[in-house]
Amino acid sequence: MTTATAVAPRAKRSPRQRAQRIRMVQYGVLALLVVLAVLFIDGRAVTSTFFRPDMVQKALTQGLPFAFLNTVAYTAGAFAVGLLLGTVLALMRLSQVAPYRWLATIYIEFFRGVPAIIVLIAFSLMPLALPGLRIPFDPYGSVWLGLGLVSAAYMAETIRAGIQAVPKGQVEAARSLGMSSGLATRRIVLPQAFRIVTPPLTNEFVALTKDSSLVYVIGLTADAYDLTKYGRAMSNTYANITPLVIAGLSYLVVTLPLTFLVRKMEARQARSK
């Protein structure tokens, strides 16, 4: 503390001045950390461990783009399955028919409570348990179903909340125009519900993108590798972790634009309220 402030009576500092001082201290600590990092971290060692240029080059030219496409394919398919099934489950949860509600509740509680990785393993082994069963587009089909069934449970609850957020008057207006209950749901309620839940569903997509890395637990041929599996295999081969780091950063290509989009959508929804 400088003598000037020590002399000044404390009580005279306004809340705004106090807040300013606290902020200055925070900035100071941050700056100090950066300086320490620059001084004590050996940049070359970090680079050769995590970002070896020749390995980056290898990864980018040897299959990483394919692994990226596989990750996108696994995620998109699982999301489609989850969205479709989740919508059906949400409508079942809100149904007048009690057995539908029970079924949906049991499904949702089961798949929300069980680790996705186990569901995925179980699904890949399904043909063993049920001889003659062939899941189409294998291994993609197994992944879509395995991850989709789990994410459907989460999406169902989100979509249910969205449906319930649509004012009751919307259904009344639709019904009073002679629309059947199903028509009112399809044309009036669901379009509004999906608009409400687009941000949380996009977050679900981001989570699913990362969960797609779980596919390593089922036996994959090299051309079906996702980003993580690809990165690990290559890192093992060359005894350098750079490919895995690059694979990890590749997820951001999908997730960052999406989270950015969600933030914009949420801001727009907040404005229109």
Partner 1 sequence: MSVTAARIPTGNREDEIQIYNLHKSFGDLEVLKGIDLTVHRGEVVCVIGPSGSGKSTLLRCVNLLETPTQGRIFILNEEITDPDADIDRLRTLMGMVFQSFNLFPHLTALENCTIALTQVKKMSPARAKEIAMQNLHLVGLGDRADSYPLKLSGGQQQRVAIARALSMDPELMLFDEPTSALDPELVGDVLAVMRDLAADGMTMMVVTHEMAFAREVADRVIFMDGGVIVEQGSPEDVIGNPTEERTRSFLRRVLDPTHVETPDDHAASPPA
Provide the minimum distance between the beta carbon of 104 and partner 1 in the complex, in angstroms, as a whole number: 26
* Binding-site member from 90, 120, 188, 244 for partner 1 (CB under 8 A): 188
What residues from 192 to 211 belong to the interface with partner 1 (CB under 8 A)? 192, 195
Q: Which stretch binds partner 1 (CB under 8 A): 43-51, 60-68, 156-164, 178-186?
A: 178-186
Task: Please select the residue that binds partner 1; options are 92, 163, 174, 245, rule is CB under 8 A.
Answer: 174
> What string marks each residue from 116 to 155 as x (binds partner 1 by CB under 8 A) or -?
----------------------------------------
From 126-134, 156-164, 167-175, 245-253, span contacting partner 1 (CB under 8 A) = 167-175
Task: Give the one residue of 41, 173, 252, 253 binding partner 1; rule: CB under 8 A.
Answer: 173
Residue 187 makes contact with partner 1 by CB under 8 A: yes
Determine if 267 is a binding residue for partner 1 (CB under 8 A): no
3-state secondary structure string, 194-246?
HHHHHHHHHHHHHHHHHHHHHHHHCCCCHHHCCHHHHHHHHHHHHCCCHHHHH
Out of 41, 84, 118, 183, the only residue in the binding site for partner 1 (CB under 8 A) is: 183
In the bound complex, what is the minimum distance in angstroms from residue 176's beta carbon to partner 1? 4
Contact flag: residue 177 with partner 1 (CB under 8 A): yes
Closest distance of CB 169 from partner 1, Å: 4
Using the rule CB under 8 A, is 232 a contact of partner 1? no
